[in-house]
Chain A
Amino acid sequence: MGFLAAGLGAGIIALAAGFGIGMIGKSAVESIARQPEAAGDIRGAMLLTAVFIEGVALIGAIVCILLALGIGQ
């Protein structure tokens, strides 16, 4: 069961994080296309936000690793 939970969890994490980062990328590219002179600022904000999503996703990934290794049983 631990492996099943870990596999499902990893899949959902990848899905959610991919969606979130995709949204950021979409908005950032759109904004840069609309206002190319602000590309530097937008890139910084994009990276900062992507990093927060990554942090949440990685906490989920760690839970999956712990599940797969059977730690805490």
Chain B
Amino acid sequence: MSLILRRVSITIILLLIISPVLLASSVQQETQESSAEQQESEGSSIDVMGKVSDHNYFETPFGYIQLPRIFLADGQFYFYPNTGAALASGDFVETEEGLIHSSGAPVILDLSITSHLIYVWLGLLLTFLITLWASRKYKSGNGRDTEPKGALLNTFEVLFVFIRDEIAKEFIPEKKYKKFVPYLFSIFMAIAFMNILGLMPWAAAATADITVTATLALITFMVTQLNGTKDHWRHVFVFPGVPAWSRIILTPVEILGLFTKPFALAIRLFANMLSGKIMIVSILGLIFIFTDMFGAAVGAGSGIFWVILTAALYFLKALVAFIQAYVFTLLSAVFIGMAVEEEEHDHEETSVARSRDVITQQ
């Protein structure tokens, strides 16, 4: 057993050390491409933002796959298998800000499939399949009548029990928490999968896109508000137990607070995932900056140091991937718990009330 564990850990360490090297080679490739394109601009540039931004192609280790483009322009839908086909049809022309309709009409809706969207779908699909698989196992009795068998089912059970007991039961009132466990668990798994998929050197973390995190935060916002009790809305509009005149200030602040919570939720996940990727690309970019400044020998020599540093950063990123998924789920649970809480008139200090104090102070 310990032999297998050792093998697995050695493989993981090797993978973590190799993947920055792969990333370095793709950065170099991009540098060469961009320097070939922009001969007039001084020096070569590393497209840091290009590594984290959304693209109309899907990057694999074996090359690019062009993704379909879907537009709504001029009151009509256009479908193309890829960007080249859209240009070849003559209906769209390429400009600085992407494709526009050749008649000059603005593109009203750009529903093109992008790389980040593919990763969102992958994350959701993996969550769906694993949950479906586990539920079938439980239905057949494995894990319910007996102890769960197999590493995957055990991991699943540990995660699920953790979400249920440490997050849902802790922050949502005892009577109502069961309703929200599926939502919290699926959002945790989906975010964790998206973050982990983003660790692959050629991949992009879908959660490093503000539109993805904003959508996730919007779902939490909807779940929170749709399940809000009478007490929740009373707390927002008519704050209990304060002088009447101070409600002039408190009510706008409370209404604003409804929207800042999901906003902060989206920004937190987005900025954490974005900064990790930017940091890694920047540090690997130093190899090429050094090569440019001091020659190839210094660049290659210092490269060893930067690659080791990047490998360490990869460990950190793997950790952050789970921590951020946990934090998003935790805060969703806290917000839901605040909204569904019904005021107990015997003033019993619950954990929900305590967490509300923390938030009001903040």
A interface residue numbers (CB < 8 A to B): 44-45, 47-49, 51-52, 54-56, 58-59, 61-62, 65, 69
Contact = CB atoms under 8 A, between A and B. Distances in A.
Given A51-B327, A52-B362, A69-B49, A44 B170 contact: yes
Interface stretch (B122-130, B267-275, B296-304): B267-275
What are the 3 closest A-B residue pairs judged by CB atoms, nearest first? A58-B271, A55-B264, A55-B268
B268 A51 contact: yes
Contact of B267 (A47, A48, A51, A55): A55
Contacts of B272: 54, 58
Contacts of B331: 51
A64 to B, nearest CB: 10
Contacts of B265: 55
B358 A45 contact: yes
Nearest to A49: B358
Contacts, number: 38
B268 A48 contact: no
A54 B269 CA distance: 10
Given A45-B358, A51-B327, 18 more contacts: A49-B362, A52-B358, A52-B362, A54-B272, A55-B265, A55-B267, A55-B268, A56-B264, A58-B268, A58-B271, A58-B272, A59-B264, A59-B271, A61-B275, A62-B267, A62-B270, A62-B271, A65-B274
B287 interface: no
25 contacts: A44-B170, A47-B327, A48-B330, A48-B334, A49-B358, A51-B327, A51-B330, A51-B331, A52-B358, A52-B362, A54-B268, A54-B272, A55-B265, A55-B267, A55-B268, A56-B264, A58-B267, A58-B268, A58-B271, A59-B264, A61-B271, A62-B270, A62-B271, A65-B274, A69-B49
Interface residues of B, number: 19
Interface of B: 49, 170, 264-265, 267-268, 270-272, 274-275, 327, 330-331, 334, 355, 358-359, 362
Chief secondary structure at chain B's binding surface = helix
Nearest to A60: B271
Chief secondary structure at chain A's binding surface = helix
A49 B357 CA distance: 11
Contacts of B271: 58-59, 61-62
Contacts of A69: 49
Contacts of B49: 69
A58 B208 CA distance: 13
